[in-house]
């Protein structure tokens, strides 16, 4: 599904109906600061089109998934964390704490990140 969903938070952010702090954008993607940052640098990259999650995005629009990832790399360059290192994350489902059902890539970095996996 790719048409804008009026109930979708990130469709509304892309449309400018809900404010966000823009970091980077292309014709197909939009990157903005996470409202509840989990690292010194925490940016979300979304496709402008609505796709539910990373798997459906990959199946429905693989070039758009590539655009999202390449935009994440550009964000890392622009934020000055390309050489210090960063993490690109897609959360899926409740165990991953996923809350917004519009595919989004987390770009995390700017400091030493914690380990993956179980809470500790």
Which parts of this chain interact with ligand AMP (CB under 6 A)? 9, 18, 20, 34-36, 44, 91, 97-100
Site string for Zn ion, 7-46 (x = CB under 5 A): -x-xx-----------------------------------
Q: How far is CA 68 from the centre of its chain?
A: 8
Q: Which of 50, 51, 102, 104 is catalytic?
A: 104
Q: Nearest to residue 113, comparing CAs of 31, 40, 16, 13?
A: 40
Stretches 33-41, 59-67, 94-102, 108-116: which one binds Zn ion (CB under 5 A)?
A: 94-102
Min dist. Cβ of residue 103 to ligand AMP (A): 10
Min dist. Cβ of residue 14 to Zn ion (A): 7
**CA neighbours closer than 13 Å in the CB half-sphere of residue 14:** 26
Q: Rounded to 5 degrees, what are φ and ψ at 68? A: -60, -45
Q: Is 106 a catalytic residue?
A: no
| Tokens 């539910």, residue located | 52
Q: By CB under 5 A, is residue 102 in contact with Zn ion?
A: yes
Output the CA torsion sign for 53, 58, 61, 65.
Answer: positive
């Amino acid at each position: 599904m790719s048409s804008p969903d009026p109930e979708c938070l990130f469709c509304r952010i892309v449309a400018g109906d809900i404010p966000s702090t823009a970091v980077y954008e292309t014709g197909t993607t939009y990157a903005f600061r996470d409202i509840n940052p989990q690292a010194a640098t925490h940016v979300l990259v979304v496709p402008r089109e609505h796709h539910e999650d990373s798997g459906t995005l990959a199946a429905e629009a693989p070039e758009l998934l590539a655009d999202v990832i390449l935009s994440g790399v550009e964000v890392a360059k622009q934020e000055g964390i390309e050489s210090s290192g960063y993490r690109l994350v897609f959360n899926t489902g409740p165990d991953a704490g996923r809350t917004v059902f519009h595919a989004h890539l987390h770009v995390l970095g700017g400091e030493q990140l914690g380990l993956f996996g179980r809470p500790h």
